[in-house]
Amino acid sequence: MNHWLVKSEPFKYSWEKFNKDGRTFWDGVRNYQARNNLKEMKEGDLVLFYHSNEGKNVVGIAKVVKEFYQDPTTDDANWVVVDLSPVEALKNPVSLEQIKAEESLKDISLVRQGRLSVMPLRAAEFDKILEMGS
């Protein structure tokens, strides 16, 4: 299993809306590196849900329930989506400041490539963020 982090601005698509929907396709990715990460996602992979811009917190865990397919919001074949469903909210949201202060997380893409919207995490990094949020 692989581990990921996806970012969404809460005013565009929040953790609360995601839970109400129960499942969504992760669309709007228009960066080739992020798109390639979507293509690497496998059914059952776990995904941290991060509120970007306002809040700047990891707020929950999702899982991949359908692997990549053509983004239905565009005719451009370059862009894909995956389907995600919520698993559970973190007991305590984990802030970007907390993540930056944690030595074992200093090399994650969230810190090093702040604009990347879909990024891989190593299992130990994923587990550390979960621990911080429990």
Q: What is the per-residue pLDDT for 114?
A: 87
pTM: 0.97
Which CATH number does the domain housing residue 53 bear? Answer: 3.10.590.10
129 is a domain residue: no
127 is a domain residue: no
Condensed to tens digits (0 to 9), the pLDDT of residues 68-118 reads 999 999 999 999 999 999 999 999 999 999 999 999 999 999 999 989 999
For residue 127, give the amino acid letter: D
Average pLDDT, the chain: 97
Residue 17 φ/ψ region, left for φ over 0, alpha for ψ in the -120 to 50 degree band, beta for the rest: alpha
C-alpha distances in Å from residue 15, one per residue of 8, 35, 98, 114, 121: 9, 21, 20, 20, 20
51 is a domain residue: yes
